[in-house]
């Protein structure tokens, strides 16, 4: 699209202005809404860059994201409430999901480590009364549950599962 001017309906413009001016709006969302408002005023990417003091990539990225979302925004505006339109606009300005690195450990390995942590070390013929994360990591490797694991990773597994367990979920299903 070579035309810098984006058309906004009155409702879309009002919602974007609310996002820019509201004290509760996260700064990045307000900045993204401001990019669209400035484009709608006919400003160029250079003018937007200078006014907002940001680089070009986010300007082009959020303009393109808006252009892609515009048909759905127009449909929602015709068929739904202004509140639902605002929710969709806010979703448009959220960061896309990023999956990160693939998991190193399978769910089964994690569950086996947690089950091991729930077993007294004496049951495994170890001369200690409680597991440490270092001992648990070493023992999980020796037992063949995992090839290699750090004590900090063990600590992460146990803490993350303990958080889930306190929300009423089961740690291990037998």
Backbone φ and ψ of 42, nearest 5°: 90, 10
**For residue 141, what pLDDT band results from cuts at 50, 70 and 90?**
very high
* Interatomic CA distance for residues 13 and 9, integer angstroms: 6
**For residue 4, what pLDDT band results from cuts at 50, 70 and 90?**
low
* Interatomic CA distance for residues 12 and 18, integer angstroms: 10
Take residue 44 and report the two structure tokens written for it.
């160029």
Nearest-5° Cα angle at 17, 16 to 22: 105
Task: Check if the beta carbon of residue 36 is closer than 8 Å to that of residue 63.
Answer: yes
pLDDT of residue 157: 86
Task: Check if the beta carbon of residue 141 is closer than 8 Å to that of residue 148.
Answer: yes
| pLDDT (tens digit per residue) in 21-76 | 999 999 999 999 999 999 999 999 999 999 999 999 999 999 999 999 999 999 99
| pLDDT (tens digit per residue) in 77-92 | 999 999 999 999 999 9
**For residue 174, what pLDDT band results from cuts at 50, 70 and 90?**
very low
| pLDDT (tens digit per residue) in 107-135 | 899 999 999 999 999 999 999 999 999 99
Task: Check if the beta carbon of residue 136 is closer than 8 Å to that of residue 113.
Answer: yes
> Which DSSP helix (H) or strand (E) runs through 90?
helix 82-92
pTM of the model: 0.58
Extract the runs of DSSP E, i.e. beta strands, from 73-129.
none
pLDDT of residue 153: 92
């Amino acid at each position: 699209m070579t035309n810098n001017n984006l058309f906004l309906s009155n409702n879309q413009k009002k919602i974007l202005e609310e996002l820019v001016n509201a004290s509760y709006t996260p700064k990045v969302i307000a900045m993204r809404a401001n990019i669209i408002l400035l484009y709608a005023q006919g400003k160029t990417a250079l003018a937007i860059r200078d006014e907002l003091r940001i680089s070009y990539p986010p300007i082009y990225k959020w303009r393109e994201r808006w252009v892609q979302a515009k048909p759905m925004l127009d449909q929602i505006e015709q068929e739904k409430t202004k509140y639902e339109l605002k929710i969709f606009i806010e979703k448009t300005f959220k960061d896309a999901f990023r999956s990160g690195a693939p998991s190193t450990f399978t769910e089964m390995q994690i569950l086996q480590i947690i089950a091991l942590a729930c077993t007294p070390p004496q049951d495994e013929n170890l001369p200690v009364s409680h597991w440490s994360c270092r001992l648990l990591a070493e023992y999980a490797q020796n037992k063949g549950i995992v090839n290699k694991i750090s004590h900090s990773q063990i600590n992460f597994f146990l803490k993350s599962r303990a958080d889930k367990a306190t929300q009423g979920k089961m740690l291990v299903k037998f």
